[in-house]
Structure 1
Amino acid sequence: MNVEQLMTRDPITVAPQTPVEEIAQILLEHRINGVPVIDWEGRMLGIITAADLIYRAADETLGPRTSIWKENFYKSVFRRHPEEPDKDQGRTAMEVMTRDVHSVEPDTDIVMAARLLVDFDIVSLPVLQNDRVVGMLSRHDLLKWVAKHPQEGANPLKAGEK
């Protein structure tokens, strides 16, 4: 079985200039965890997840700073990608998105995709074909398949290989 059989086709996407408030509203209205950020040709530039927006909210609501030196030290040591701007300062998709994104292709084996989701603690994966977003595969998509096929045994995702 491959990703194309389980993915959500034609996912909701946003443009780089989409305001953060609009992205939050999209996530809430559609009950999704994230949206790819695409350029005018449909190529993926990054992804924005609920976690990205929650990070922003958490950082903005912290109490008074006790030590600028300590804060700068922690940011320099623990920042995921030093070249990226602080997400709490961003106002648009381009400024808040995660640029280093794991993705899969439609013909990727579903077991490999599931392993990526688990190993990297990812909630959803963009599905790319010719560098364009054609779908999203989420943990929820995999869970729906497992729920429909309980008779497949201990490893239902491998059952299709028989």
Structure 2
Amino acid sequence: MLVREIMTAPALSVRADSDLEEGLKVLAEHRVTAIPVVDDEHRVIGILSEVDILRRAVEPDSRAHALPVAQSEPLPKTVGEIMTPDPKNTTEGTDVASLIDLFTHTSIKSLPVVRDDNQLVGIVSRSDVIRALWRDDEDLLDDLHSAFHDYGQTHWKITVDHGMVEVAGAGNATEREVAVAIARSVLGVRRVHVVEADQLA
């Protein structure tokens, strides 16, 4: 499964000189956790996340404190004042499995998807991955049969159980690798196991 198959495109974006209210509105209205910040050439130069806003854009309410709240620095007015510059990004051809590793080991919830020279083409989030994995086994099996048919690989027996795919039949090592590659190309496949003919009951 590749990023281009699950990403949201085109991606919402804001400029660094955009009013912070505009960034807040986009996050709230579209219910996203982050939006890329782009320059005049639509290249990604930063990202505005919920965390960025929570850190800088809310002033303490004196009613909740026993003592007066100390004078704080002025609240930011533009996206560029609080965005995270030079964020991590990914490309359309990246394996989603590598994103899962990133999402599960960091606090990152979404990544801009870029092409040459950091041009924004989409965004991919943890929610996109979850939606891609949530597929009915019957629908998944239909897509697998279609994919194998398109590659002329109709001699394999395919079964699906909760997104786990078993491909059974005769074939040499190269043919088995091809079968695995075809199966993994289908959106929603979580794992592929090849059973050789002599292992069948």
Q: TM-score, normalised by structure 1?
A: 0.76
Listed as ranges, the matches of 1:1-162 within 5 Å are 1-58=1-58, 60-61=59-60, 64-65=69-70, 89-130=75-116, 131-148=118-135, 151-153=162-164, 158-159=190-191
SS at match of 1:122: coil
Larger Rg: 2
Unaligned runs of 5+ in 1: 66-85
Greater share of strand: 2
Distance apart, 1:161 and its partner CA: 8.9
Q: Percent identity?
A: 29
Distance apart, 1:157 and its partner CA: 5.7
**Number of corresponding residues:** 141
Unaligned runs of 5+ in 2: 63-68, 138-161, 166-187, 195-201
SS at match of 1:148: coil
The one-letter code sitting in structure 1 at the alignment partner of 2:97 is V
Q: TM-score, normalised by structure 2?
A: 0.62
- CA shift digits 1:93-129 (9 cap, x unpaired): 1111001411111100000011112212211111111
Cα RMSD (Å):
2.7
SS at match of 1:104: coil
Moved over 2 A (4+): 62-65, 156-162
The one-letter code sitting in structure 2 at the alignment partner of 1:135 is G
Contact 1:117/1:125 (<8 A) preserved: no
